Amino acid sequence: MDNALQIIMDHAAAGARLREAFFKKEGARIAAVAKMMAVALAQGNKIMFCGNGGSAADAQHIAAELTNRFMIERPPLAGIALTTDTSALTAIANDYNFDFVFSKQVQALGQPGDVLVAISTSGNSRSIIEALIAARERGIVTVGLSGRKGGEMPPFCTYLLNVEAEHTALIQEVHISAGHMLCRLIDYYLFENVAEITPLLHNSQEHSD
């Protein structure tokens, strides 16, 4: 086989193995996260996303699937990528420190009951850790998409979806697969099987009364 074709097939095989292992290990947690997100959206809350580099692209990608549509025709859902406002990002980085480019936006925009999805292949990005800390302080549910051993993220995440791999590109491929699955299940809970989250909506309303 040509060397280039061998590289392609090796990468494809490694990615397939990793994705299957991830969904087998994290499937139940992904379903729980999606159900929690569906309840938050049904109650008028929003889902915020952040990440750096390729993870910033993933944040924007998943947010867009919510605000536009994913696989079914349905109303727009409240997804916000904290990676897109260049004025805010550059002002914060210039006046303070890049570490706070997401946390200050969380402080400004986040409300109790919202959800923050923080993406880092290493789990050690300081801007991501600061965003998670700010979210927890405001009563925001935190979901981490991490890689390797999870890095520094686990203590700051209500839910952690960790891809146990060292190869950054493969971690990112599984992250976007997880993002797609969350979008698919959010649609499922909100528009195909709403009866499954109705008791959760009633319980939360009783607690708030």
Q: How many CB atoms lie within 10 A of CB 113?
A: 17
Q: For residue 112, is pLDDT > 70? A: yes
Based on the structure, what is the number of domains in the chain?
1
Instruction: Please report, for the domain that includes residue 51, its CATH number.
Output: 3.40.50.10490
pLDDT at 1 (0 to 100): 67
Domain hosting 132: range is: 3-208
Q: For residue 67, is pLDDT > 90? A: yes
| Bridging pattern class, strands 115-119 and 47-51 | parallel
Residues sharing a CB contact under 8 Å with residue 24, sequence separation 6 or more, in sequence order: none
pLDDT band at 202; cut points 50, 70, 90: low
Q: What is the pTM assigned to this prediction?
A: 0.92
| Residue 142, CA distances (Å) to 22, 31, 48, 95 in order | 20, 15, 10, 26
Q: What are phi and psi of 54, to 5 degrees?
A: -60, -30
Average pLDDT over residues 62-81: 97
**pLDDT tens digits along 164-199:** 999 999 999 999 999 999 999 999 999 998 888 888
The span from the CA of 81 to the CA of 2, in Å, is 41
